[in-house]
Amino acid sequence: MNIIYVLIPLSVVLMVLAIAFFFWAVRNDQFDDLDTPALDILDEDEPTDPPRSNGDAGKDECGH
Amino acid sequence: MTEAVRHEHGGCWHCGEPVPAGVDIRAEIDGQPRAMCCHGCQTVARLIDSAGLNRYYDFRDALPERPEQAAEASSRDFLAWDRPAVLDHYAHADCDRLYRLTLVLENVHCAACAWLIQRFVGALAGVAEIRVDVADGRAHVRFDPERCALSEIAARLAALGYRPHLDSPQAGVARNQTERRQMLKYIVVAGLGMMQVMSFALSNYIGAWQDIDQQTERFFHVISMIVAVPVALYAGQIFYKSAWRTLLQRRMGMDVPVAAAMLLALFSSIVITVLDAGEPYFDSVVMFIFFLLLGRYAVLVARQNAGQLQSALARSLPVQTRRLTDTGAEMVALIELASGDRVQVSAGETVPADGRIETGTVMVDESLLSGESIPRRRSAGERALAGSLVREGQMTLEIEELGQSTILSGIVRLLDQARTFKPRMARMADRLASWFVAFVLTGATVSGLVWWQIDPTMALPVVLAVLVVSCPCALALGTPVALAAAARGFARLGVLITRPDSLELLPNITHVVLDKTGTLTRPDMRMAEVRAAAGVDPDRARVLAGRLERVSRHPVATAFARYDDGAAVTAAEAVTAAGVAGTVDGVEYRLGKPGFVGEWLSAHPTEPGEGQWIALATRERLLAWFRVDSPLRDGAHELVAQLKARGLEVWLASGDRRENVEAVARSLAIDQVRSACSPAAKLDLVRELQASGARVAMVGDGINDAPVLAGADVALALAEGADIARTQADLVVTGKDLSRVSAAFALAPRVRRIVRQNLAWAFSYNITALPFAAAGFVPPWLAAIGMSASSLLVVMNGQRLGRVRGKRPKVPGAAPDPATPSPVGSGA
């Protein structure tokens, strides 16, 4: 049973990682639009949208 | 589903409305000719097809509104938006010279709308990004004004039927986003933390049956504490902060007992763990926080989607206006206007500000302000009010009051005042909860003191058992969980809840006051009957009338618009308060009031029956009579019948003329009628009824109803109407179908029943368990299980409200569809 002393702290570390990942996702606008991305996959054409969010997030901070 | 809806009644390919008789308009979509109901739809459909975006028709899961005059949308309509003053005021520039701007869009229904907008507008050179928030109908644009004018973007949106409005550059949107993101973080932290802590707790509960060794048990306690303490401190912040704020104001807020229970349980659990004195309750604390957060999130989203006051105001005012200067006329945006400016307003335009008419005589529709549906004549020297629509004529207006000082914004402010008169159910619930907390604390102290005398080692376990077993978790959870689930259930029926309290009040309602225009009846008019003269084809007469009425902006013209086949009319003219005249294929026609048409004929024509009749004639003879009326909405009869069957007293109050109101009341069998009511008179009626002990629900629509909505015990608004009502109403009914109002009345008693079950359970459980715990019969770990089970039971009971049986809302904006079962039948 001694293995739980390793595994359980490990699960806590994993939880912290999951939370960190989620926070990163929220900060990068991943949860702002929950409606349209579902449709993108149905689109056979080349994406015409300019690249969104991630690249732009950096730009936001300049000047403001 | 969309395909099914559209093909079942063979309606318009674009909007799904039935194609009227005598209309044959088609548009090629993806190489297939598709039936269209009007030229507006045809234009939009062709536009979508020519942009190669016809996959929109596969993606969408809601049908759009029938576009109005979309064909006419051009960048000219929004020219004033290109002026530097607009960009300065509404947009702000990025470092790479791109401007950011938020637009409020009309008619955004579903994700496919957002997709369509992104493709169609995003394809413009100079538009770096456009993102549409489906929930609140806002579009966030980033663009380069030098490469793509704002008017161009606006015209494209309008051409698709999503008419844009400038959104006030408030911090509101950004704040909403931050708030929502913060909430999401709390929820995920609490959720993940809950799962972890629960698994540790479960190991101990099971371990208790299987002789877990002391060391392992202790390990689980410590690790629970390591996880739960930061989680509870982080995720529970909003409760602690809100409780602290209310305490500073010397009030007992809703969050005070909640925060007290959380912190107390957390603190005692820490003490227990450190002293190794028994079972801690970390799992309960974190679960408690998680479920409360879920409820708060639902409330937050509902509140944000209800829309903002400012944008509602913006929607009622025009996009631009024609200012007269010494050098001529120029189109300016409203923010550029100043008191004393002279503006010119023509037929079909909205008055931008309050002012005095200098020259010209106009017919203005003030239904937004007074509820009066018939346009009034206003001439030089009289006042014209912001938000009213010029139906006929042209005028020069000298501006007196602007923006916040107009009558329109006065009405908006009136709402806020009326709202403070509302009874506050929440206050009572709070008082109950704080009494209960006081009771539990006293109980714990007393039993602790008693046990101190008997057996000091038992004192702490007993105090904790008392605290935990009677932790008002289930009590505090019972109502919010049920209300959050009910909000989901109602949303499925097409009813949005903006004030959860109203669900408790709705079953107690004794009187229902219904508004007429725009609530019981549709906002547009309909041709009810055609009587063609001998030898005249009625379909031909309708199409002819449709063409002639094209020039008119009078509400009556809406009845004919759908028969217009677009053929040329020459010498078309709208004659104020009389009718229209025009020449089709070389023949002169007149269409309008009998007196106007009769000027041509030897014998003055007499109307063939009751109601509002419009005559069509050539110079030689009368061709046809048309009877027009405002059709009742679907479900109006059922609504009144159902309300009466519930034993409620139904009133009809309207700003409209007496004969119109009484005709509607007769057809719906409503006995109590008030006609020609100003908004203030309607509010008086509600107050009068309330003074005689009645609890009044108001069903309304439009800005003019807003004060009444705020004054009633429960307010229901139809979302089709002006947005302002949406912010003030407790329940917002989406779509065009009144049966949803009936459904709300049917579901509300269930909500109250489940809330009461929850409270009764939580209360009786706590009261029963308390003596046992105080007597020392309940070890803390059993108390924790009991409390968790009790909370879980309450949560699951509440969830039942989210599952509304077998009811799928009709697609918003869809035409009456007999194949979809009405929610009334199954909801009762």
pLDDT digits (tens, 9 = 90+) for B155-175: 888 888 787 887 765 545 666
User: What was the pLDDT predicted at B72?
Assistant: 55
pLDDT tier, B89 (very low <50, low <70, confident <90, very high otherwise): confident
**Hey, which of B191-205, B296-310, B478-492, B598-612 has the most confident mean pLDDT?**
B191-205
**How far is the C-alpha of A64 from the C-alpha of A60, rounded, in Å?**
7
How would residue B276 be classed by pLDDT, with cut points 50, 70 and 90?
Answer: confident
The model's pLDDT over B234-262, given as tens digits with 9 standing for 90+, comes to 999 988 988 888 778 765 555 666 677 67
Percent of chain B residues topping a pLDDT of 90: 4
Helix (H) or strand (E) holding B756: helix B739-774
Whole-angstrom distance, CA of residue B803 vs CA of residue B811: 19
pLDDT at B9 over 80: no
The pLDDT confidence band at residue B630, using thresholds 50, 70 and 90, is confident
Q: Are B631 and B522 in contact (CB under 8 A)?
A: yes
Q: Is the pLDDT of residue B289 over 60?
A: yes
Secondary structure (3-state) at B603: coil
- Report the gap between the CA of A35 and the closest CA in chain B (Å): 5
- Cα four-point dihedral sign B605, B610, B612, B616: negative
Question: What is the Cβ-side half-sphere exposure of residue B71, based on CA atoms within 13 angstroms?
Answer: 8
Average pLDDT value for residue range B17-42: 76
Which positions in chain B have a beta carbon within 8 angstroms of at least one beta carbon in chain A? 52, 55, 58-59, 93-96, 110-112, 114-115, 118-119, 122-123, 128-129, 131-135, 177, 181, 184-185, 188-189, 192-193, 196, 200, 216, 219, 223, 226-227
Percentage, residues of chain A above pLDDT 70: 56
Collapsing DSSP states into helix, strand and coil, what is residue B258?
helix
Q: How confident is the model at residue B724 (pLDDT cuts 50, 70, 90)?
A: very low
Whether pLDDT at B150 is above 80: yes
pLDDT band of residue A25 (cuts 50, 70, 90) is very high
Token output for B169 = 């550059």
Which runs of E-coded beta strand occur in B360-455?
Answer: 362-365, 376-378, 383-384, 389-401
The whole-number pLDDT of residue B191 equals 93
A51, A53, A56, A60: CA torsion to nearest 10: 160
> Range with the lowest mean pLDDT among A10-14, B521-525, B634-638?
B521-525
Does residue B81 have a pLDDT over 70?
yes
Cα–Cα distance measured from residue B119 to residue A43, given in angstroms and rounded to the nearest whole number = 11
Residue A64: count of CB within 10 angstroms of its CB:
10
Q: Supply the angle between the helices B172-209 and B780-799 in degrees, to the nearest 10.
A: 130
Give the separation between CA B164 and CA B158, rounded to whole angstroms: 7
Report how far residue B403's alpha carbon sits from residue B660's, in angstroms, rounded to the nearest whole number. 34
* Measured distance CA(B528)–CA(B816) in Å, rounded: 17
> Chain A, 5-64: which have a CB under 8 Å from a chain B CB?
5, 8-9, 11-12, 15, 18-19, 22-23, 26-27, 31-33, 35-36, 38-40, 42-43, 45, 48-50, 52, 56, 59-60, 62-63
Q: Amino acid letter at B226?
A: I
* CA pair distance B310, B412, nearest whole angstrom: 10
Under 8 Å between Cβ of B13 and B812: no
Task: Give pLDDT tens digits for B100-134.
Answer: 888 878 777 677 788 888 888 888 888 888 888 77
Q: Is B326 a catalytic site residue?
A: no
Of residues B110, B150, B104, the one with CA closest to residue B127: B150
pLDDT tens digit sequence for B452-482: 888 877 776 677 677 666 666 666 667 766 7
Q: How many residues does chain B have?
A: 828
What's the one-letter identity of residue B645? Answer: A
CA angle (B738 as vertex; B736, B740 as ends), nearest 5:
100
CB contact under 8 A, A33 and B114: yes
The answer, yes or no, to whether residue B201 has pLDDT greater than 90, is no
Higher pLDDT, B135 or B452: B452
Give me the mean pLDDT over the B410-422 stretch: 49
Within 10 A of B608 (CB to CB), how many other CB atoms are there?
12
Instruction: Write down the pTM of the prediction.
Output: 0.54
- Is pLDDT at B229 greater than 90 in this prediction? yes
Given B77, B136, B365, B515, which residue is catalytic? Answer: B515
**Radius of gyration from C-alpha coordinates of chain A:** 19
Do B38 and B23 touch, CB atoms closer than 8 A? Answer: yes
CB atoms within 10 A of CB B646: 17
Q: Which of B248-262, B342-356, B390-404, B787-801 has the lowest mean pLDDT?
A: B248-262
Task: Measure the CA dihedral B237/A29/A41/A49, to 10°.
Answer: 160
Task: Categorise residue B577: left if φ over 0, alpha if ψ from -120 to 50, beta otherwise.
Answer: left
pLDDT band, very low/low/confident/very high, at B188 (cuts 50, 70, 90): very high
Looking at per-residue pLDDT, the higher value among B281 and B263 belongs to: B263
Q: Do B114 and A36 touch (CB under 8 A)?
A: yes
- CB-nearest to A26 from B122, B131, B184 is B184
Amino acid A21: pLDDT = 94
Q: What is the pLDDT of residue B226?
A: 94
Q: Which helix (H) or strand (E) holds B46?
A: helix B39-50
Q: Is pLDDT above 60 for B548?
A: yes
The pLDDT of residue B324 is above 80: yes
pLDDT for the residue numbered A14: 94
Which one-letter DSSP state was computed for residue B67? Answer: P
SS3 B304: helix
Q: How would you classify the pairing of strands B389-401 and B342-346?
A: antiparallel
Whether B219 shows a pLDDT value over 80: the answer reads yes
Whether B560 shows a pLDDT value over 70: the answer reads yes
ipTM of predicted complex: 0.74
Winning range, highest mean pLDDT, from B13-22, B130-139, B621-630: B621-630
**SS3 labels along B11-33:** CCCCCCCCCCCCCCEEEEECCEE
In order of B638, B805, B807, B820, B821, the CA distances from B825 in angstroms are 10, 11, 10, 11, 8
pLDDT bin (cut points 50, 70, 90) of residue B393 is: confident
